[in-house]
């Protein structure tokens, strides 16, 4: 075990340079307000936060809109620790209040870069009818934030939730809590692994979506997910925060491993996420390396470049039924 590893991230301190290399583009709200009912589309908000629209249902995954991912405590109305923790080096392209509607909030696990108190509180206030689908053990945390208990569903791996499709009698989206290789804590050793972590498979009559959350590589688990719930129209898989490898490999996949997951779950199209937003513990890889390694591994496996791609912060990627079925 090495005690010191060289940090190769080399994130520019000049905002203009970051604007060139990692642009944040204006969100096409027209697309979000009027999504093509026959397509599936995804907005990358940053890090692992994505907004997915499919089958008439709007899904917000691991919402993190705060400036920092860190614990926040209030004492006498004063927020403590708010200015500590990892600060984003790319701003959010929109606010929660800008989103047209949130029907479902999907949570993969309880780490601060995936479960943000301020963001959940804002969703609760703006979209009081939103449902929260979470891994086992997180319901109590959501009720402590004031979320209505009836709106919270928690599941073990391989358990499902049926979400009615709007305006369609006896038609549902199936939300399946699926395995991931990770861990949980919000208070250090006091609650380590007291709650479950997961990925999510979402199956509808026309389209399907897989949200990888945070995970290390486990070939058997991903093959099982692909066999049971694949193929997927679209997936969001992590591609960043993988160096130093000796430390990160059990919990964070490399870009090459993410491409392997793309194959194993049988995803037609995949968006690479969990990169280009925060300088976290680890993240010693060059800040622009993740998409380059994805591209190289796709070429090595003779897979189409468009099948697994990255997009700009704020960009909306729309995939038609014809593309999925081609």
The whole-angstrom separation of Cα 193 and Cα 109 is 10
Strand partners, 177: 200
Phi, psi of 17 (to 5 degrees): -65, -40
Count of alpha carbons within 13 angstroms of residue 9, beta-carbon side: 21
Per the CB < 8 A criterion, the answer to whether 181 and 251 are in contact is yes
In 3D space, the residue among 282, 287, 274, 197 whose CA is nearest the CA of residue 247 turns out to be: 282
Residue of 148, 129, 140, 113 whose CA lies nearest to 251: 113
Give the Cα separation of 234 and 269 in Å (integer): 5
| CA atoms of 306 and 299, how far apart (whole Å) | 11
Question: Can you list the alpha helix ranges (DSSP code H) found in the chain?
Answer: 15-21, 29-33, 117-126, 139-144, 219-229, 245-248, 255-264, 289-300, 321-325
Annotated ligand binding at 112? The verdict is yes
Is 214 annotated as a binding-site member? yes
114 is in an annotated binding site: yes
297 annotated ligand binder? no
Say if residue 110 carries a ligand binding annotation. Answer: no
- 224 vs 208: CA distance, rounded Å: 16
Distance CA 197, CA 215 (A): 9
Query: Cis peptide leading into 231, omega within 30 of 0?
Result: yes
Burial class (CB within 10 angstroms; exposed 0-12, middle 13-18, buried 19+) of 122: middle
207 vs 82: CA distance, rounded Å? 39
Tell me: is residue 111 an annotated ligand-binding position: yes
Angle between helices 255-264 and 289-300 (to 10 degrees): 50
* 109 assigned ligand-binding residue: yes
Report the binding-site residues for Zn(2+): 109, 111, 113-114, 182, 214, 274
Binding site feature residues: 109, 111-114, 182, 214, 252, 274
């Amino acid at each position: 075990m090495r005690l010191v590893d060289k940090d190769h991230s080399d994130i520019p301190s000049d905002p203009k340079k970051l604007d060139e290399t990692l642009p944040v583009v204006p969100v096409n709200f027209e697309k979000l307000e009027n999504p093509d009912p026959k397509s599936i589309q995804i907005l990358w908000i940053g890090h692992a936060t994505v907004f997915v629209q499919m089958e008439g249902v709007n899904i917000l995954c691991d919402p993190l809109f705060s400036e920092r991912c860190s614990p926040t405590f209030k004492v006498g109305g004063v927020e403590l620790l708010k200015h500590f923790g990892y600060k984003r080096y790319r701003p959010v392209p929109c606010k929660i209040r800008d989103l047209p509607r949130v029907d479902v909030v999907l949570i993969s696990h309880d780490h601060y870069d995936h479960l943000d108190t301020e963001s959940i509180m804002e969703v609760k206030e703006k979209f009081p009818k939103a449902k929260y689908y979470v891994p086992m053990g997180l319901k109590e945390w959501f009720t402590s934030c004031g979320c209505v208990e009836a709106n919270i569903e928690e599941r073990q791996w391989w358990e499902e939730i049926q979400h009615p499709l709007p305006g369609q009698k006896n038609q549902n989206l199936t939300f399946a809590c699926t395995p991931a290789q990770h861990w949980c804590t919000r208070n250090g050793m006091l609650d380590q692994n007291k709650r479950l972590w997961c990925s999510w498979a979402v199956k509808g009559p026309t389209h399907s979506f897989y949200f990888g959350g945070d995970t290390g590589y486990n070939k058997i688990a991903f093959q099982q997910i692909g066999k049971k719930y694949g193929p997927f129209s679209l997936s969001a898989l992590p591609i960043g925060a993988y160096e130093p490898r000796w430390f990160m490999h059990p919990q964070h996949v490399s870009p090459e491993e993410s491409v392997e997951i793309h194959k194993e779950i049988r995803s037609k199209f995949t968006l690479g996420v969990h990169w280009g937003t925060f300088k976290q513990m680890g993240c010693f890889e060059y800040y622009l390396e993740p998409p380059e390694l994805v591209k190289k591994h796709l070429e090595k496996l003779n897979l189409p470049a468009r099948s697994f791609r990255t997009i700009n912060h704020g960009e909306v990627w729309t995939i038609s039924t014809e593309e999925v079925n081609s």
